[in-house]
């Protein structure tokens, strides 16, 4: 019935909840169908799926054949965020669909939060804050914390964000900055390890800034945690699944490592009860890139990708293969 009107504006299916993002002019240029309850009966998709030419998605939304089958004319998937670990890249490529993400605009913001979370975790700042709020300061001083200075730090995922973290850490008196990966990067002054296990034995701070997805799932297991040692600190701003959940909980509980700072979880927004019960873990609700300025820049880049695509200029920031 409204085909005539829709023909003027490309139809965009919005799979990601963008309420947290400053939501701008996208509605002027596109016909936006807001529908992100993929598990609910999708009469709407059966009715309108064939009209959809673009999609707005988040890394947290699984996009695979189940939904793509209902969208035969989909051309472009614009992801909010740099990570796209729940996007079935093979299914997308097979159908000739272009996927975009929002790299670069969030790099420095995530790096700031990573270093902040590291210091908060080592110096036990949230615990100290709770000490005040619970009225305990007058009764007993807050116990002394460990230090960051003098530690060897290892970064897993020395990409844009990992490098921005390393750059910041050069301003702290850590004893060494290391990274691991199959290949040594020629242009960085940090110590290279081929293998995470080898690196874990050498460091006491492990920072995770690598992509999620099947290739990195469970990379940090009980063995890696044990190698970090009882002084070990782990900070994860990547994806929850990069760490084996039960191994981490056991390591924190048994003192196999000292503490963890986590901005990401295995099944967000669920936070394991076992972690909530522990005092040596600092928990953040996936806010790495969540400043007003950076979120505005992310939505801007997402929109610009859609505009560019439908104006025939190609995607601005397609995801890497
Ligand atoms: C990202 O950029 O991948 C974040 O996790 C989502 O904002």
CATH no. for residue 50?
A: 3.40.50.720
> What's the rounded mean pLDDT across residues 274-301?
95
- Quick one: which atom of ligand 1 is closest to the CA of 84? 3
Q: Ligand 1 test: best mutation among 106, 211, 299, 302, most atoms within 8 Å of CB?
A: 106
What confidence category does residue 5 fall into, taking pLDDT thresholds of 50, 70 and 90?
very low
pLDDT of residue 16: 78
Q: Do 143 and 220 sit in the same domain of this protein?
A: yes
pLDDT of residue 15: 84
Between the CA of 155 and the centroid of ligand 1 the distance, in Å, is 18
Q: What is the side-by-side strand order in the sheet with 52-58?
A: 31-34, 11-14, 52-58, 76-80, 98-100
The yes/no answer to whether this complex scores an ipTM above 0.90 is yes
Residue 83 CB–ligand 1 contact under 6 Å: yes
Between the CA of 194 and the centroid of ligand 1 the distance, in Å, is 26
CA distance 8 to 228: 58
Between the CA of 216 and the centroid of ligand 1 the distance, in Å, is 16
Does the pLDDT at position 39 exceed 90? no
Residue 81 CB–ligand 1 contact under 6 Å: yes
294 phi-psi bin (left φ>0, alpha ψ -120 to 50, beta other): alpha
CA distance 317 to 102: 7
Q: Do 124 and 255 sit in the same domain of this protein?
A: yes
Q: Do 90 and 114 sit in the same domain of this protein?
A: no
Q: Do 17 and 166 sit in the same domain of this protein?
A: no
In a domain, 245, yes or no: yes
Q: Do 97 and 176 sit in the same domain of this protein?
A: no
* Number of domains comprising the chain: 2
Residue 152 in contact with residue 291, Cβ under 8 Å? Answer: no
Sign, CA dihedral 187-189-194-197, equals: negative
In the chain, % of residues over pLDDT 90? 82
Does the pLDDT at position 179 exceed 70? yes
- Which residues are identified as catalytic? 239, 268, 286
Residue 82 CB–ligand 1 contact under 6 Å: yes
Q: Do 187 and 83 sit in the same domain of this protein?
A: no
Assigned token pair, 84: 């796209």
> What's the rounded mean pLDDT across residues 47-55?
93
Q: Which domain holds residue 22?
A: 3-103+292-310
pLDDT of residue 18: 66
Instruction: Give per-residue pLDDT as tens, 116-172.
Output: 999 999 999 999 999 999 999 999 999 999 999 999 999 999 999 999 999 999 999
Does the pLDDT at position 299 exceed 70? yes
- Quick one: which atom of ligand 1 is closest to the CA of 102? 2
């Amino acid at each position: 019935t409204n085909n005539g009107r829709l023909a003027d504006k490309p139809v965009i299916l919005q799979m990601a909840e963008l309420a947290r993002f400053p939501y701008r002019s996208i509605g002027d240029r596109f016909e936006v169908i807001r529908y992100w309850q993929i598990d609910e009966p999708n009469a709407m998709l059966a009715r309108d799926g064939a009209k959809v030419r673009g999609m707005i998605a988040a890394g947290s939304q699984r996009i695979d054949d189940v939904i793509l089958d209902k969208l035969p004319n989909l051309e472009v998937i614009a992801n909010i965020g740099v990570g796209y670990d729940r996007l079935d890249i093979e299914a997308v490529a097979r159908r000739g669909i272009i996927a975009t993400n929002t790299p670069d605009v969030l790099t420095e913001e995530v790096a700031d939060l990573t270093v902040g979370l590291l210091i908060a975790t080592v110096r036990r700042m949230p615990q100290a804050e709770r000490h005040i709020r619970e009225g305990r300061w007058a009764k007993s001083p807050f116990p002394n914390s460990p230090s960051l200075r003098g530690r060897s730090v290892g970064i897993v995922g020395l990409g844009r964000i990992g490098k921005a973290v390393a750059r910041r850490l050069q301003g702290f008196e850590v004893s060494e900055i290391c990274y691991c990966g199959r290949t040594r990067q020629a242009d960085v002054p940090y110590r290279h390890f081929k293998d995470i296990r080898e690196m874990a034995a050498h460091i006491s701070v492990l920072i995770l800034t690598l992509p999620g997805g099947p290739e990195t799932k469970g990379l940090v297991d009980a063995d890696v945690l044990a190698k970090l040692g009882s002084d070990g600190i782990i900070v994860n701003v990547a994806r929850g699944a990069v760490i084996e959940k039960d191994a981490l909980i056991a390591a924190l509980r048994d003192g196999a490592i000292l503490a963890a700072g986590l901005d990401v979880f295995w099944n967000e927004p669920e936070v394991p009860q076992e972690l909530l019960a522990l005092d040596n873990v600092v928990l953040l609700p996936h806010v790495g890139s969540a400043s007003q300025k950076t979120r505005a820049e992310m939505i801007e880049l997402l929109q610009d990708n859609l505009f560019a695509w439908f104006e025939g200029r190609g995607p601005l920031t397609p995801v890497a293969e």
